[in-house]
Amino acid sequence: MAGPRQNKDEEGDLPGARILIVEARYYEDIADALLAGATAALKRAGAAYDVITVPGALEIPGAVAIALDARAHGGRVYDGVVALGCVIRGDTLHFEIVSEQSARGLMDIAVHHALPLGNGILTVDTESQAWVRARADEGDKGGEAVRAALVMLRFKRRLAAERA
């Protein structure tokens, strides 16, 4: 029995695709590193993108919902979404609330709208852990989130083509 297939970047194979990146800027330098990895991956895939910023991870699902609502009323159409941000554990339960509710909100939207989504919201104990995951030459979680969204977009397009 063959093992699982590896999903690889397929450079330039998504012309005409438009991805919305929603990034939380609470940790600005980490957000910059995540965004650099994400945009590099989108450029390799040949996909266009727009970036909107929100204050923190809890605002990301709401921003995605607003963008989808605008699409339903004649606004820009996005083929997928990439969420970027960072939540670092502190001394209170706020970490659990933010990390769990942002992930839940994104999953609810992705499932309800059949929306290709890449979740690049880091949930870490320390800032040093965040940097290891955010830097493109180490963890590249921004690029990884893009690659996840693009795999789902390719899958969605393949199924649509099979129906046609």
Per-residue pLDDT tens over the stretch 52-84: 999 999 999 999 999 999 988 888 899 999 999
73 catalytic residue (yes or no): no
Q: Residue 122 — left, alpha, or beta (φ > 0 → left; ψ -120 to 50 → alpha)? A: beta
6 pLDDT above the threshold of 80: no
Q: What is the CATH number of domain 18-163?
A: 3.40.50.960
Q: Which of 73, 94, 112, 113 is catalytic?
A: 94
Longest C-alpha distance within the chain, in Å? Answer: 54
More reliable by pLDDT, 44 or 14? 44
Per-residue exposure over 145-154, b if at least 16 CB sit within 10 Å of its own CB, e if not: bbbbbbbbbb
122 pLDDT above the threshold of 70: yes
Q: Is the dihedral of CA 71, 74, 75, 76 positive or negative?
A: positive
**What is the reported pLDDT for 98?**
93
